[in-house]
Each structure stands twice: as structure tokens, then as C-alpha cells.
Amino acid sequence: MSKTEHQSRPLRWAKSSHSSGDGGQCVEWAPDHAQATGDFLVRDSKNPDGPHLTLTAGAFTGLIALAKSHA
């Protein structure tokens, strides 16, 4: 599937396992988009219509490491 074909489909967002259930620290990412394009999209689940970050694989790995170190 090309990057253009994938962009025409709605994104499936997955909540981080490090997100709390009480409305705080809610981070989501789009795994299918990352697999199809190599771009890692990250957003605040409390604001799903707001902006998202587009990260490289290395930057996403760093974000995960940072989140784990503060858990």
C-alpha cells in the first residue's frame, strides 16, 4: 500500500499502555500508519481533533524510553 493510499483511510489510534485511566497522561499513536509509511504519529487522546506529532522511528523510540523512565 502506498503512502497516498494509506492517507485516505481513517487512522486507527492505540492508547499507550503507560497512559493512566483517570484522564491524565493520555498518549496515543497510529501503529498502522507507522507500518505503512514509516512516520510515527502521536497525539494527546484528550484532544483527538487537535494536532499530532510526526516522529521518525528513532524519535519515537526515544519518546517511549522517556515515558518508561518517568513511569
pLDDT in tens, 28-56: 999 999 999 999 999 998 898 999 999 99
- Domain that residue 44 falls in: 3-69
- Does the model's pTM come out above 0.95? no
Query: What contacts 20, CB < 8 A, 6 or more positions away?
Result: 26
Q: What's the rounded Cα separation, in Å, for the pair 62 and 46? A: 22
Whole-number Å distance between alpha carbons of 28 and 17: 9
Q: How far apart are CA 26 and CA 23, in angstroms?
A: 7
Domain count, the chain: 1
Mean pLDDT value across the chain: 83
12 and 31 Cβ atoms separated by less than 8 Å: yes
